[in-house]
Amino acid sequence: MRIDPVSSRVFRYVVGAGCLAALGLAAAGCGKKPQAAAGPAMQALPVRTAPVALEPVAQSDEYLATIKSRRSTTISPQVSGNLTAILVHSGDEVKAGQPLMQIDPRQQQAYVASLLATERQKKALYDYNQIEVERQQKLFDAGVTSRDTYQQEQQAYENSKADYESAVEARKTQQQLLDYYTVRAPYAGIVGDIPVHVGDYVSPSGSSPTMLTTVDEDADLEAYIYIPAARAAQVRSGLGVNLLDNSGKLLEKTRIDFVSPQVDNTLQAILVKAPVNPLHGLLRNAQLIQAQVVWSTQPQALVPVLAVTRLGGQTFVFVAESQNGKYFARQRSITVGETVGNDYAVLNGLNVGDKVIVSGTQFLREGMPVMPLPPGPPPGSAGN
């Protein structure tokens, strides 16, 4: 196993200091008179440093967002009746026109059968009158019957024809209604919640029609974000949005493309929308996620999280300061902001170019001599 050079030097430093202390105790135990001689100068502790530089840091806020489909349909019945079959489950993927549920069609079938019988009756009368009007025309042409008799028969024929055609259209209309007893998906999508059960009576009429289910298309999604009205002056189209999961992992970067002109009275917030790319398959309709709205990007100093220590509610780092060609550890009080990856954004307390000590901080004391090491891989990066 390869040993990190910084850890090795720290170990030798601590062991050497311990040996010197042990030798001093041994000399005192032998009863010899102490000699008035200055001890050896403290050796400089090898440390790694990271120079403070300004990096672009996003100024942002996080809000709860809901993923919604631009094509989301609530399926309600178009006819009344009892459900006899539910052919899908919540979450199923369906194709356009695929049957979802079946409503009992027997009453409608009986009505269609009755209309068909009436149609046949009127067809028989129409056929009879058609033959009769042809016969009366021949008799009228031969001078056997009067014009009045012929015209009466012609009128009866026209009436029976109109009655028959009306019966045909009535039967066709009611027969087409039979299709509505099979509830079908309007387009390809995913089935939502199904609050009804087999045997329930469903109806399209009344103040609140029965909701059977929903079908949502995952091909055209957008994030709904409610931003507090206090931010109204800053909200605009084009602002960057980072969509995050519950653990803070970045799912997608997008931008606001819609800002509501009104404030929601209940939430006292402004609705904004941002498009979502459905191709990666990480987001689905009705999913709750975190949306990080980026207001601006400003340069700020960053320091590694491992370099920061907390004491008495305050935050500190050690900086390697040069003095007469030597370096000494100086403790600095800093104010940190949000984390950016593995770094803290520093609001104040450091200057550009400061050498922040990022290793061996547990051994450091104020004014302790240190020896900055040349740039290299961070501790623990070497393989076994």
What's the pTM value of the predicted model, to 2 decimals? 0.56
Residues of the chain with CATH 2.40.420.20: 5-55+300-372
pLDDT at 280: 65
Instruction: List the CATH code of the domain at 5-55+300-372.
Output: 2.40.420.20
Distances from the Cα of 207 to the Cαs of 81, 213, 378, in angstroms? 17, 18, 69
Are 221 and 70 spatial neighbours (Cβ–Cβ below 8 Å)? yes
Q: According to DSSP H, which parts of the chain are helical?
A: 5-29, 106-141, 147-177
Give the integer Cα–Cα distance in Å for 382 and 384.
Answer: 7
pLDDT at 83: 97
Phi then psi dihedrals of residue 28, to 5 deg: -65, -35
What secondary structure does DSSP assign to 56-74, as a single string?
A: EEEEEEEEEEEEEESSEEE
Give the integer Cα–Cα distance in Å for 64 and 292.
Answer: 9
How many C-beta neighbours within 10 Å does residue 219 have?
A: 13
- Phi-psi category of residue 281: left, alpha or beta, with phi > 0 → left and psi -120 to 50 → alpha: left
* Helix, strand, or coil (residue 31): coil
pLDDT at 383: 45
Lookup: tokens for 239: 């602002």
Q: What is the pLDDT along the chain (384 residues), one digit of tens a residue?
A: 444 544 444 445 444 444 444 444 444 444 444 444 455 667 889 999 988 888 888 888 999 999 988 888 899 999 999 999 999 999 899 999 999 999 999 999 999 999 999 999 999 999 999 999 999 899 988 888 899 998 999 999 999 999 999 999 999 999 999 999 999 999 998 898 999 999 999 999 866 789 999 998 877 889 999 999 999 999 999 999 999 988 888 889 999 999 999 999 888 999 999 999 876 667 877 889 999 999 988 888 888 888 898 888 889 999 999 998 899 999 999 998 877 778 888 988 998 889 999 988 888 889 999 999 887 655 444 444
As a whole number of angstroms, the longest Cα–Cα distance in the chain is 167
Lookup: tokens for 102: 């079946």
pLDDT at 376: 60
How many C-beta neighbours within 10 Å does residue 320 have?
A: 20
Lookup: tokens for 206: 């009344």
Query: Which residue shows structure tokens 């990066």?
Result: 381
Give the integer Cα–Cα distance in Å for 293 and 63.
Answer: 8
Domain 60-70+217-297 sits in CATH 2.40.30.170? yes
Q: Return the H-helix or E-strand segment holding 354.
A: none
Which CATH number is 77-214's, of 2.60.40.420, 3.30.420.40, 3.40.50.1820, 2.40.50.100? 2.40.50.100
pLDDT at 253: 92
How does 242-261 read in b/e, with b if 16+ C-beta sit within 10 Å? bbbeeeeeebbebebeebee
Distance of CA 31 to the CA centre of its chain: 78
Lookup: tokens for 277: 């790319």
DSSP state of 256: -
Q: Which amino acid is at 301?
A: A
Radius of gyration of the chain (CA): 43
Dihedral of the CA atoms 123, 128, 130, 131 (nearest 10)?
150
Give the integer Cα–Cα distance in Å for 375 and 188.
Answer: 58
Residues of the chain with CATH 2.40.30.170: 60-70+217-297
Residues of the chain with CATH 2.40.50.100: 77-214
Are 285 and 193 spatial neighbours (Cβ–Cβ below 8 Å)? no
Q: Which amino acid is at 331?
A: Q
DSSP state of 242: E
Spatial strand order of the sheet with 201-202 comes to: 182-184, 99-103, 81-86, 201-202
Give the integer Cα–Cα distance in Å for 384 and 1.
Answer: 5
